């Protein structure tokens, strides 16, 4: 018996999901967390929007 290929692969890692909401949840919470690291001090950031703030206040670098 063959397994159906899951139609919603994550574009950032090797995982795939059988429905879009599972994929979205993975990208936002599981996979997203791994990608949101400060490139300078490797601090894990809670959201993508907190990166410019972190860069400015912690490292004094403006990203704009």
Measured distance CA(60)–CA(53) in Å, rounded = 9
User: Between the CA atoms of 19, 20, 21 and 22, what dihedral angle is there, to the nearest 10 degrees?
Assistant: 60
# residues near Zn ion by CB under 5 A: 10
Cβ at position 4, least distance to Zn ion in Å? 20
Q: Do 57 and 50 touch, CB atoms closer than 8 A?
A: no
Residue at shortest CB range from Zn ion: 31
Cβ at position 1, least distance to Zn ion in Å? 27
Q: Which stretch binds Zn ion (CB under 5 A): 1-9, 23-31, 44-52?
A: 23-31
Per rule CB under 5 A, is residue 40 in the interface with Zn ion? yes
């Amino acid at each position: 018996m063959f397994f159906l290929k899951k139609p919603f692969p994550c574009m950032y890692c090797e995982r795939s999901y059988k429905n879009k909401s599972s994929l979205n949840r993975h990208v936002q919470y599981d996979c997203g967390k791994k990608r949101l690291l400060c490139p300078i001090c490797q601090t894990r950031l809670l959201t993508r929007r907190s990166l410019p703030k972190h860069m400015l206040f912690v490292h004094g670098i403006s990203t704009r």
